[in-house]
Amino acid sequence: MKAGRILANGTVLIPRARRTEGPLERARGLLARPEPKSGEALLIEPCSGIHTWAMAYPIDAAFLDHGGRILRVVERLAPWRFAACPGARAVLELASGEMARLGLRTGMATHWQDDGGGK
- Residue 119 included in any domain: no
pLDDT of residue 117: 55
- Residue 71 included in any domain: yes
Total count of domains within the chain: 1
Instruction: Choose between 54 and 60: higher pLDDT.
Output: 60
pLDDT of residue 25: 83
Angle at 80 between CA 74 and CA 84, to 5 degrees: 40
- Residue 85 included in any domain: yes
Distance CA 95, CA 30 (A): 10
Distance CA 75, CA 72 (A): 10
Q: What is the pLDDT of residues 74-115, one digit of tens each?
A: 999 999 999 999 999 999 999 999 999 999 999 999 999 998
- Residue 67 included in any domain: yes
- Residue 32 included in any domain: yes
pLDDT of residue 77: 96
Contact indicator for 100, 75 with CB cutoff of 8 Å: yes
- For residue 82, the domain's CATH number is 2.60.120.1140
- Residue 40 included in any domain: yes
> pTM of this prediction?
0.92
Note down the domain range covering 88: 2-114
At residue 30 the predicted structure's pLDDT band, cuts being 50, 70 and 90, is: confident
- Residue 19 included in any domain: yes
